[in-house]
Amino acid sequence: MTETGPAAVAAFIGNQRTGHKVPHRLACRVLGVSESWFYKWRDKPTTARQVRRGQPADAIRQVFEDSGGTYGSPKVWLVLVRQGRRVSVNTVARLMAELGRAGRKIRRRRGPTRPGKRPAAPDFVRRDFTADAPDQVWCGDRTEITTGEGKLYLATVIDLFSRRLLGHAMGERHDADLVVASPHMAAATRGGDVSGVIFHSDRGSEYHSRRFRRARRRLGVTQSMGRVGSCFGNAVSEAFNSVLEVEYVHRHTFATRTEARLRIATWITGFYHTHRLHSVCGYRSPTDYEHDHRANSTLEPAAQKISTVRGD
C-alpha cells in the first residue's frame, strides 16, 4: 500500500476480501479502524483532487510502458511536458516509486583493458564522437544475441550525428560478409552516394579483411580505427550494444534465429529510431533530430536571402 489517505486505506481493506477473502471486520481490526469508518470512506465519492492525482499516474504508466519499461523519471517527465502536462520531475519520480516503476540501468565497464599497438588504419575520430551534420562520421561494431538455435551475430552502422542506426546485418557467423552488408544497407538508407564518409570501428579481424576494404573503397568511405583493447575507442557502438542488450534482448527469449531477427529489426525501426530519446539529440529521437536539422538547414538560406534583399 503506497498511499496512506483514508480513501486508500478503505480501498485496501476492500481489496483484501476481493483478492484474499479476508473479511472486512478482520481487516478493520488489524488496521485499527471501525467498520462504520470503512463503509463511510468506501462509499464516499471520488473527489476532484483524487481524480487529478490519478491522471498523472495513468500518464506515467503509459509513457513507461511505451518505452518498453526502460525510461527513468527524467525521460518520463520530459515526455509528459512535451505532451503539455504540467507536472514536476520530483512528482514524476515520487509517483514512479509509488507505482513500482524504475528505468533500466546500463552497466558500464569498470575500466579499459590495456591498449595495444598502433592501429592498422589512422584514428580520425580520436574519441570525439560528435558530428556537425549527417554522413560525416559513421561507426560500426558487432555483437551477439543468444537464441534457442545458438548465437545470432549483429553488425551495425551508426551515424554519429543523430545516433541513427543506418545499417545492420544479422547472421549465424561473424565474418566479413556480415560487416560488408551493414555499410551497404547504410549507403542505401542514405540514397546510395556516401562518398567522403569516415567509417570508424575497432580493430576486429572482419574490418581488416580484404572484402571489407574493397567494399568501403567502392562506397568512397574512409576507414578509421581506434586503439586495440580500449573500450573507449569505439564508445558509441559499444553504448548501442549495451542499450540493445539491457533494454530489449535481456528481457526477451528468442526460440529461433529468425524470431530474433524479426523482433530486433522491429525494435530498431519501431522504437529506437522513432521514439527512444537520446541526450545527444537534445532528448529527441534520431529521426526527429535529423528532420529538425533538415528543416533548419532549409530555413537558414531562405533567411539569409531575405536579409540580403532587405539590405540588413
* pLDDT tens per residue, range 37-47: 888 777 766 55
Is residue 295 scored above 50 in pLDDT?
A: yes
- 231 versus 221: the higher-pLDDT residue is 221
Please give the pLDDT value at position 309: 45
* Cell numbers for 136: 560525416
What is each CA distance from 89 to 65, 82, 106, in whole angstroms?
A: 18, 13, 21
- 60 versus 237: the higher-pLDDT residue is 237
What is each CA distance from 62 to 71, 79, 171, in whole angstroms?
A: 11, 11, 35
Nearest to 31 by CA among 13, 47, 18, 56: 13
Would you give the distance in Å from CA 65 to the centre of its chain? Answer: 13
Please give the pLDDT value at position 222: 95
The pLDDT-based confidence of 266 (bands split at 50, 70, 90) is: very high
> pLDDT > 70: what percent of the chain?
82
- For residues 288-311, average pLDDT: 68
What is each CA distance from 273 to 60, 143, 156, 287, 298, in whole angstroms?
A: 22, 19, 14, 6, 22
- 109 versus 262: the higher-pLDDT residue is 262
d(CA 151, CA 136): 33
Q: Using one digit for the tens of pLDDT, what is the confidence trace for 75-91?
A: 888 888 888 888 888 88
Please count the CA atoms within 13 angstroms of the CA of 82 that sit on its side-chain side. 12
- For residues 94-119, average pLDDT: 60
> pLDDT > 90: what percent of the chain?
43
Tell me the one-letter amino acid at 98: E
Please give the pLDDT value at position 230: 59
* Cell numbers for 115: 591498449
